[in-house]
Structure 1
Amino acid sequence: MQADRLVGREHTRHDLFGIPVDALSLGEAVEVCMDAVDRGELLEVGVVNAAKIVKMCQDAALRDAVLGCDLIVADGQSVVWASRLLHRRLPERVAGIDLFQRLLYMAEVEDRSVYFLGARPEVLERMVERVGAQHPDLRIAGSHHGYYCEDETAAIAEAVKASGADLLFLGMTSPKKEVFVATYGARTGAKVVHGVGGSFDVLAGVVQRAPLIWQRMGFEWLYRVLQEPRRLGGRYLTTNVAFVRLVAREWARSARSARAGKTN
């Protein structure tokens, strides 16, 4: 669908650090996804936050995989703030987990089937059980844990296709999920392929999500660090500082361009 991106949906896309981010609200993103299911066309969903944008500057494969997605939304509040500072305003944060949960609800309402791929076997089992309890009429076409060997990937993609799932959710970390989407998304036969990162852990109850007030303040990342300071503390400090530098450089570049335009 990349060549004829988001057919029937007129909206703004903003270039942020060389990434075309779709200026959509959560509700609008859900509509775009379900329209793709109705049309029977593949829609690959990509999400970007501060950490991923920094990684994309260093990892060409990750960058290419994200840029190959049909829909790219701002998963991080810091990206939304940066868009406003740079006068390329995004309407709101579209968190991957929020989009995931809304799509589960819509799939249940519209009788569409879903497939879950990712997480540890025990986490996946628990999540599927809890999702089934929350959405009793949801058709779960199948599931597979994320701890498989690379040479099994093609067979797993074929299993997803055989299940007939309309929506595929990938509970994997970056860049594994982006590479899977880029390489095998079309082969799965799913109409919407959405990488949801650690959302399986949250829905399984293994990881607690930040309270809503923390999310609105843009401190969801800090809440995660407080839960796992040794594992995440250094990583978030490094990427957040690097992201601030990216924003500062882009702001300075835009300011210089604006001044040059006035003098010409």
Structure 2
Amino acid sequence: MKFAFGGTEIVITHPDAATLLADVAQHLRDGRGFSLATINLDHLVKLRANPMFRAAYAVQDMVVADGNPIVWLSRLARHPVSLVPGSDLVLPLVRVATKLGRPVVLFGSTPTALAGAVAALGASVPGVRIARTIAPDFGFN
């Protein structure tokens, strides 16, 4: 499934969560970094209107469908993909990283929110290593 905006093509690279998680695991085993975007209807609007947002999306290694409208569009385009909400990926991604002995970095809104996330992940994924938490100043875009 592809979307084109101002000469930039955005491609849904992974049709489902299983394919994505297998690719993430391979990247981690190989010691390769990656970037992941979860495209949704709001992002489609921003991609059309915001060249900086479009440029950021254009360099993503992995893109999944995070929203039923994207899934429906993929079916209409005869390139069906499954719904892969970013919120549903947090624990599976942390589990993959932990299983492969890789640390996790959390990027969030406030130090308090991140402390809660660290505690919740520690309870849900035994052995998780949180390498760093980052809470940018208010106004970060």
Aligned-pair identity (%): 26
Equivalent residue, structure 2, for 1:133:
123
- The residue type equivalent to 2:126 in the other structure is P
Asked if the contact 2:14–2:62 (Cα under 8 Å) also holds between the matched residues in 1, the reply is no
Cα deviation digits, residues 54-110 of structure 1 (max 9, x gap): 1110000001100111111111111011110122222x0111122222011122222
Aligned residues: 137
Q: Work out the CA distance in 2 between the residues paired with 1:23 and 1:70.
A: 10
Distance (Å, rounded) in 2 between the aligned partners of 1:42 and 1:104: 15
2:79 aligned to which of 85, 88, 93: 88
Show CA shifts across 1:11-37 (max 9, x none).
xxx213442112421011011111111
What is the CA distance between 1:134 and its match in structure 2?
Answer: 1.5
Shift of 1:42: 2.1
Which residue in 1 is equivalent to 2:10? 19
Return the letter of the residue paired with 1:94: V
Asked if 1:106 corresponds to 2:96, the answer is yes
Aligned to 1:45: 36
* Structure 2 gap ranges (5+): none
Residue 72 of structure 1 aligns with an amino acid whose one-letter code is V
Partner SS for 2:122: helix
Corresponding residue for residue 65 of structure 1? 56
One-letter code aligned to 2:17: L
TM-score (norm 2): 0.87
Task: Kindly report structure 1 stretches of 4+ aligned residues shifted beyond 3 Å.
Answer: none
Unaligned ranges ≥5, structure 1: 1-13, 151-175, 177-264
Matched, 1:32 2:23: yes
C-alpha root-mean-square deviation of aligned residues, in Å? 1.7
Report if the CA contact (8 A) 1:76-1:95 is conserved: yes
Aligned equivalents of 2:14, 2:30: Cα separation in 1? 22
Cα deviation 1:151-180 (Å, max 9, x = unaligned): xxxxxxxxxxxxxxxxxxxxxxxxx3xxxx
